[in-house]
Amino acid sequence: MDKQQKARVTAMEADRDDAKLSYRGLAQKAGVSDGNIRDAVKGRKDMGEGNWGKVASALPGGKLEALLQAAGIEIPGPPAHAVRQQGDAAGIVAIPFGNLRPNPDNYRKTFDPEDIAGLAESIAENGVLQNLVVREADGEDIHTINSGGRRYAAMMSLRAQNRIDDTFPVPCLVRSMKDTEARALALIENLQRQDVPVLEEAEGFKALTSLGWDTEKIATACHIAPRTVQDRLQLFDKLKPVARKALAEGQITLDQARAIVSTPFEKEQNELVTYAVRNGYSAASLRDKAKAGKVPVRVAGFDLKKYKGDYMGTGTERVFADTDAFMKLQRKAAQQKVDEIKASGRFASVTLLAIGEYFDYSRFHHLDEEDIAEETPEALKELHAFVSVDRWRHDIEIEYGRPDERSAARGPDDDEDGAAEDEAQLDLEPEIRRKKREEELAAGSRWQRDMLAAVAARAADYFRTEILRDLAGLGTTWRPVHFDIMTVNLPATAEIIQSATGSPFVFDAIEEGVALADVPRNEDIGFIDAADIPFLRAWLTNQPDADVTRLYAQLQVSRSMLFHPHTLDGETLALSQKIGVPVPPHMTPEPEEDEEVNEEAEEYDYTTVDRRIALDGEAEEELA
């Protein structure tokens, strides 16, 4: 911004403050786009001498006008649509204040008390300098105010102070208007005044649309961008009660509200409001939080026209807001894929796997697409195809399997009835195994969730066990072996630390531009960026000990949430029993048949270790 433009902006801002006009109100009076005014103020570009002159003519202060006149720039007369030019002077009549009534359709519900008080003092000293626009009501002497709500509110405050009475003369322009015209004029008149609350502005735009105005017409009348109108209408239509209240009370900003409204679900909006108010999440962090766990549009296996829900984000970052609706369509698309493969007649069978059901490696040898390409048509007829919706990526996956000869081998059976029973049993066994795996998986998941809750409540016992592991070099079966070598961070770990701190940490193994929700849930995401370490260190320093203890436990367990153990080691079994988390039977260690293994197990008699520790404690008490 050069010195000349800076001087003009300074003078304009002084005049605008004196006139108590918003940029939008100034743009309306001057007949200039508020975008041009804002660009000039921010130094992005100059408005041009013509627009500077129009702005000066709409400001009563005179500082900008004097500056432009000194530079030889012509100042045009006030624009024809300026608020003060609402009618010919000859058409203005004085109406007693007591004969005026506020407009019941006026969406403007709140005014700045200081602004009203200042305006009241001006009216008390100088009278009403700007006429009101009214129209006749039911009675001959009663008129409804169409434009001038602020002035009426100021006069109401004066009457409450007994400084004016119902006979106080108010200059008014009486106009005959249809209801729709009157409402539109009242709305536009209010929108060109001082900045109004966002939700009231949104309500005003909504009222204009109900009168048949489209986005372009509203934007033109208010001298704003069509996008601004669309944003306000979206807030009015989609912001839920809790978020709406938070915005109205100033607990969240407009940018935060825009991020919150990106999800159409009330429960999710309420959660985002909590993150914004309590944790101070920025608008960008709220958008990331809203999209976390959502499915990217790119994985859809169906025509997007079939999806009737909302989207979040744009371009490659766009996701389905309604995951349940997506999954229903994706499952239908998977079934269509099954029907297509069946119709080809290439394979022995084609199966649609249920949600959570996986390729059965115990019965089939897995083949990929390259293997299939090398098979002959005759060989393909012996293969089985399996279609599923991937649990983590949510895309449609096709896998192929060749029956395992060992599991398929059966002895001869001369009894036809017995053969039929064997065949029925074979058909039933996969379903039994699947249900058993699901039950064990569910039991393992419940155990880990219960362990997390118990560890958070009794962290000291957990830490004692972990210290013992580290000092004795004992392994663990409730986390994969490689976790004992180097800490591995998973997306679940990142979500916990981001939620706790409200900071979107960067992990070095996630490629730039890839959303956390798109990373496979069991993939190592590396470590936080070095630049985030000072912040995290300072944040941890300021947290209560109990909170840090719980966070430690949550982070530790989050690194193993996807690796449900099949059989627990002795230490974990003892810990689980000690803090009161029942262990599913299938996870309880069983004695090994190998004598050498049993002898090795006897060396780690946990009962003996606990007794020795207890005796050591008693000895320490005696010494004390």
Model confidence pLDDT, tens digit, residues 245-267: 999 888 999 899 999 998 989 99
Residue 414 has pLDDT above 50, yes or no: no
Closest CA to 228 of 194, 193, 191, 265: 191
pLDDT band at 564 (very low <50, low <70, confident <90, very high): low
Report the b/e string of 601-622 with b at 16+ CB within 10 A.
eeeeeeeeeeeeeeeeeeeeee
Domain tally, the chain: 3
Given 23, 55, 70, the domain boundary residue is 70
Mean pLDDT of 134-159: 83
The reply to whether 64 falls in a domain is yes
Domain of 15, CATH number, reads 1.10.260.40
Residue of 201 and 372 predicted with greater confidence: 372
pLDDT band at 342 (very low <50, low <70, confident <90, very high): very high
What is the C-alpha separation between 523 and 527, in angstroms, rounded?
Answer: 12
What is the C-alpha separation between 560 and 152, in angstroms, rounded?
Answer: 67
Given 409, 434, 454, the domain boundary residue is 409
The reply to whether 196 falls in a domain is no
The reply to whether 282 falls in a domain is no
What is the C-alpha separation between 343 and 337, in angstroms, rounded?
Answer: 10
> Do 388 and 462 share a structural domain?
no
Model confidence pLDDT, tens digit, residues 492-546: 888 888 888 888 887 888 877 788 888 887 788 888 877 777 788 788 878 777 7
**Rg of the chain over all Cα atoms, to the nearest angstrom:** 37
- Of 153-157, 187-191, 349-353, 392-396, least confident by mean pLDDT is 187-191
Residue 566 has pLDDT above 90, yes or no: no
> Do 467 and 386 share a structural domain?
no
Report the b/e string of 495-531 with b at 16+ CB within 10 A.
bbbbebbbbebbbeebeeeebbbbbeeeebbebbeee
> Do 598 and 554 share a structural domain?
yes
- Of 25-39, 146-160, 165-179, 258-272, least confident by mean pLDDT is 25-39
pLDDT at 442: 78
Tell me the percentage of the chain whose pLDDT exceeds 70: 78
Mean pLDDT of 337-358: 91
pLDDT at 269: 93
The Cα-based distances of 500 to 219, 507, 551, 573 in angstroms read 41, 16, 8, 30
> Do 492 and 596 share a structural domain?
yes
Residue 4 has pLDDT above 90, yes or no: no
pLDDT at 491: 86
Q: Which two tokens stand for residue 77?
A: 């007369």
Sequence-separated (6 or more) residues with CB below 8 Å from residue 340 = none
Name 399's bridge partners. 386
> Do 536 and 458 share a structural domain?
yes
Beta carbons of 348 and 318 less than 8 angstroms apart: no
pLDDT band at 591 (very low <50, low <70, confident <90, very high): low
pLDDT at 160: 93
Report long-range pairs for 441-449 (Cβ below 8 Å, ≥24 apart): 441/356, 441/564, 443/584, 443/586, 443/587, 444/564, 444/565, 444/566, 444/584, 444/587, 445/564, 447/576, 447/581, 447/582, 447/583, 447/584, 447/587, 448/478, 448/557, 448/560, 448/561, 448/564
Q: What ranges make up the beta strands (E) of 115-154?
A: 132-136, 143-147
Q: Is the dihedral of CA 482, 483, 485, 488 positive or negative?
A: positive
Beta carbons of 295 and 318 less than 8 angstroms apart: no
pLDDT at 561: 53
Residue 454 has pLDDT above 90, yes or no: no
Closest CA to 46 of 38, 224, 54: 38
pLDDT at 155: 94
The three-state DSSP-derived secondary structure of 551-574 is HHHHHHHHCCCCCCCCCCCHHHHH
> Do 449 and 404 share a structural domain?
no
> Do 608 and 533 share a structural domain?
yes
The reply to whether 302 falls in a domain is no
**Residue pointed to by tokens 């004969």:** 99
Beta carbons of 587 and 603 less than 8 angstroms apart: no
Report the b/e string of 128-152 with b at 16+ CB within 10 A.
beebbbbbeeeeeeebbbbbbbbbb
Residue of 521 and 426 predicted with greater confidence: 521
Residue 311 has pLDDT above 80, yes or no: yes
> Do 446 and 405 share a structural domain?
no
> Do 457 and 348 share a structural domain?
no
Q: For residue 585, what are the domain limits? A: 442-617
The Cα-based distances of 238 to 107, 207, 234, 245, 535 in angstroms read 19, 16, 6, 13, 35
Given 40, 70, 100, the domain boundary residue is 70
pLDDT at 604: 39
pLDDT at 411: 45
What is the C-alpha separation between 403 and 527, in angstroms, rounded?
Answer: 42
What is the C-alpha separation between 374 and 182, in angstroms, rounded?
Answer: 77
> Do 508 and 456 share a structural domain?
yes
Pairing of strands 349-352, 311-312: unpaired
Residue 109 has pLDDT above 90, yes or no: no
Beta carbons of 398 and 366 less than 8 angstroms apart: no
CB neighbours of residue 415 within 10 Å: 9
pLDDT at 624: 37
What is the C-alpha separation between 397 and 391, in angstroms, rounded?
Answer: 10
Closest CA to 152 of 71, 95, 84: 95
Residue of 389 and 84 predicted with greater confidence: 389
> Do 473 and 393 share a structural domain?
no
Q: Is the dihedral of CA 320, 321, 323, 329 positive or negative?
A: negative
Mean pLDDT of 419-438: 66
What is the C-alpha separation between 233 and 206, in angstroms, rounded?
Answer: 6
Q: What is the amino acid identity at position 187? A: L
What's the mean per-residue pLDDT of the chain?
78
Sequence-separated (6 or more) residues with CB below 8 Å from residue 218 = 205, 208, 209, 229
Mean pLDDT of 310-329: 88
Beta carbons of 110 and 149 less than 8 angstroms apart: no
Pairing of strands 132-136, 92-96: unpaired
The reply to whether 44 falls in a domain is yes
The reply to whether 337 falls in a domain is yes
Residue of 153 and 453 predicted with greater confidence: 153
Residue 571 has pLDDT above 50, yes or no: yes
The Cα-based distances of 148 to 94, 170, 242, 278, 292 in angstroms read 14, 11, 32, 40, 47
The three-state DSSP-derived secondary structure of 454-500 is HHHHCHHHHHHHHHHHHHHCCCCCCCCHHHHCCCCCCHHHHHHHHHH
Residue of 350 and 201 predicted with greater confidence: 350
The reply to whether 175 falls in a domain is no
> Do 550 and 455 share a structural domain?
yes
The reply to whether 396 falls in a domain is yes
What is the C-alpha separation between 473 and 481, in angstroms, rounded?
Answer: 12
pLDDT band at 108 (very low <50, low <70, confident <90, very high): low
pLDDT band at 473 (very low <50, low <70, confident <90, very high): low
Name 388's bridge partners. 397
